[in-house]
Structure 1
């Protein structure tokens, strides 16, 4: 992935989140995607690992339900080998990094990472 296509991906990603368009977000994911996030622990309990596209869609739908004012502003996009990091500010003003690992054009692994001093990174009340 070059920097131009990475920025295009990040812009599409943020636009889909801000529009609350789960169908658009799902187009980027492999069926067997795995996503890890401390917010998932808050929302779902368990170990914070979501396995599979259907489970991730359900988790994100619940997140959107809980956070009606969700808004992401992309601050930076970082390209690695088969990986992309989207640095963004959420609706609470919190800084977040989404780390995405690709197999071809599809995300196979994702990691939501948050500053350690935010006790409620999801912003859920």
Structure 2
């Protein structure tokens, strides 16, 4: 993966989140995306913590935006690998988060949100 692509992807991704623009945000994801996060359990009731498909991700992100109206991210760093990137960022609570994203044809096909603390339960 090219670092310039990853940096541009992260810029657009954070701008979409900070604008709370769900359609712009979801434009980064493939229809068959698989997503995991500790917040999936509290936001959806799915104990697996894993979502399958863009529509499930849409519902999850919409719930997150509803529950966290002051949501805002600041990108701290972007790391690249082979078809994988990691966006490290700080959220509105000053919590550090990393999203590990596997891409295909410039779209996320698999993603994992990881948190530096267990604050995620705050939004239960």
* TM-score calculated relative to the size of structure 2: 0.94
Partner of 1:20: 20
Over the residues paired in the alignment, what is the CA RMSD in angstroms?
A: 1.3
Structure-to-structure mapping, 1:24-63, within 5 angstroms: 24-45=24-45, 46-63=47-64
The answer on whether the counterparts of 1:3 and 1:79 sit within 8 Å (CA) in structure 2 is yes
Report how many aligned residue pairs link the two structures.
123
How much does 1:107 deviate? 0.7
Partner of 2:101: 100
* TM-score calculated relative to the size of structure 1: 0.93
Q: Relative to total residues, which structure has the larger helix share, 1 or 2?
A: 2
Q: Structure 2 unaligned runs (5+)?
A: none
Partner of 1:74: 75
| Partner Cα separation in structure 1 for residue 29 and residue 118 of structure 2 | 29
Residues 62-116 of structure 1 show CA distances to partners (whole Å, capped at 9, x for unaligned) of: 000000000000000000100010000000000000110011211100000011x
How much does 1:120 deviate? 2.7
Q: Structure 1 unaligned runs (5+)?
A: none
How much does 1:122 deviate? 6.4
Change (3 A) 1:82 1:8: same
| Partner Cα separation in structure 1 for residue 68 and residue 123 of structure 2 | 6
| Partner Cα separation in structure 1 for residue 16 and residue 121 of structure 2 | 18
Q: Is 1:64 equivalent to 2:60 in the alignment? A: no
